[in-house]
């Protein structure tokens, strides 16, 4: 994962965006996404991660898929923490998809 340094102060709203992934992502997308392109990108990433976690949760009858869902949530919290201190973590496919809509 490649990180790019951004000149931002500590903003823990980015951590909150990834807290409940798709739900808080939708809330922040509509409330702060219009004014802040970086927040819009991170809220879209959180929504996409949330959808992937939901699909993994629905496939929980497959052994260890619940662990994948938990890992996705923890990874989202890591991304939110890094974004709150000014570092953007690149998620291979999701970041490119989110960047198209910003």
DSSP assignment of 35-68 equals: T-HHHHHHHHHHHHHHHHHHHHHHTTTSTTHHHH
4-13, 16-25, 58-67: range with lowest mean pLDDT:
4-13
**CA 12 to chain CA mean position, Å:** 13
Q: Mean pLDDT throughout 47-58?
A: 93
Q: Mean pLDDT throughout 2-25?
A: 78
Q: Give the number of other Cβ atoms within 10 Å of residue 75's Cβ.
A: 16
**pLDDT attached to residue 9:** 63
In this predicted structure, the answer to whether residue 83 has a pLDDT above a threshold of 70 is yes
**pLDDT attached to residue 7:** 45
**pLDDT attached to residue 25:** 94
The answer to whether the CB of 69 falls within 8 A of the CB of 53 is yes
pTM to 2 decimal places: 0.85
Q: Give the number of other Cβ atoms within 10 Å of residue 47's Cβ.
A: 21
């Amino acid at each position: 994962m490649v990180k790019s340094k951004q000149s931002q102060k500590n903003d823990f709203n980015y951590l909150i965006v990834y807290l409940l992934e798709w739900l808080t992502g939708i809330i922040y997308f509509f409330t702060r996404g219009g004014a802040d392109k970086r927040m819009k990108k991170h809220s879209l990433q959180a929504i996409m991660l949330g959808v992937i976690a939901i699909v993994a949760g629905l496939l929980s009858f497959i052994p260890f898929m619940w662990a994948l869902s938990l890992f996705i949530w923890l990874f989202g919290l890591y991304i939110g923490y890094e974004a709150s201190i000014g570092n953007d973590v690149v998620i291979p496919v999701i970041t490119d998809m989110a960047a198209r809509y910003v």
